[in-house]
Structure 1
């Protein structure tokens, strides 16, 4: 018998991880408030958006997706689920302390 070092059904494991992330992100949407800064950690960078309510965010996007490296970016109002992708977002209102 061959050595099986990975999961016996990787598709099922991947589906389980996707479902878990979806549940976490639905809970996140219950916590986030209009004006909150949302950080979407990606593999090599973090994408940022501002929550405006009703499941919508405002963010800067470029031609190659949501990573804008130059002045050619576009500010967009989009659905949270469009922007979140496979990320696990977090509220990161780091500038709030400077305003107190």
Structure 2
């Protein structure tokens, strides 16, 4: 059963496709005829969705070629060549040939420095980039600052309440 595209246009060869999983995005590169190539932990099956969180526990990943609709499963996806305004994409033939040559290979994997987004951006632009990682660190930093702020506020409130109780005695 072929899934209809949930994106404004059908992907072109060499396009980056962002698949919206629960809590993160999985990135694939379109190589034509409904197929994508992507980097995934060996234990992950194509439409893994949330089980892909297991990727946090691995240091190796397999380059796979699957149908886009199978990899996306029930998740939304879109073409997102987000760095095209900043970096020139490599020639489509080079992108696709290199991606195809990597299928079946085990690659080093690290969620912060060698993830699926790094993999596809290196193929398209010749350099590995991942905003997911930067965004996660920024959100993590904001969360830590937010928690620290809550802790400081709680301490101040506790201090004011304790002082008020002492004054009432």
Q: What TM-score do you get using the length of structure 2 for normalisation?
A: 0.41
1:46 alignment counterpart: 25
Task: Specify the SS of the correspondent of 1:94.
Answer: coil
Q: Which has the higher helix share?
A: 2
Deviation at 1:28, TM superposition (A): 4.0
Is 1:34 the counterpart of 2:22? The answer is: no
Q: How does 1:36-75 map to 2 (within 5 A)?
A: 36-62=15-41, 63-65=43-45, 67=52, 68-69=55-56, 70-75=58-63
Q: Which has the higher strand share?
A: 1
Deviation at 1:38, TM superposition (A): 0.2
Deviation at 1:64, TM superposition (A): 3.7
- Aligned pair count reads 77
Instruction: Tell me: CA distance 1:41–1:91, structure 2 relative to 1, closer, same or farther (3 Å).
Output: same
Residue in structure 1 matching 2:77, options 79, 86, 89: 89
Give structure 2 stretches of 5+ with no counterpart: 89-169
- d(CA) in 2 for partners of 1:59 and 1:90? 15
Deviation at 1:81, TM superposition (A): 1.7
Deviation at 1:43, TM superposition (A): 1.0
Q: CA RMSD in A?
A: 2.2
> Which runs of 4 or more aligned residues in structure 1 lie more than 2 Å from their structure 2 counterparts after TM superposition?
27-30, 64-71
When Rg is computed on C-alpha atoms for both structures, the one with the higher figure is: 2
Give structure 1 stretches of 5+ with no counterpart: 1-21
Contact 1:37 / 1:91 at 8 angstroms: preserved in 2? Answer: yes
2:87 alignment counterpart: 99
2:112 alignment counterpart: none
Contact 1:29 / 1:55 at 8 angstroms: preserved in 2? Answer: no
- d(CA) in 1 for partners of 2:38 and 2:25? 12
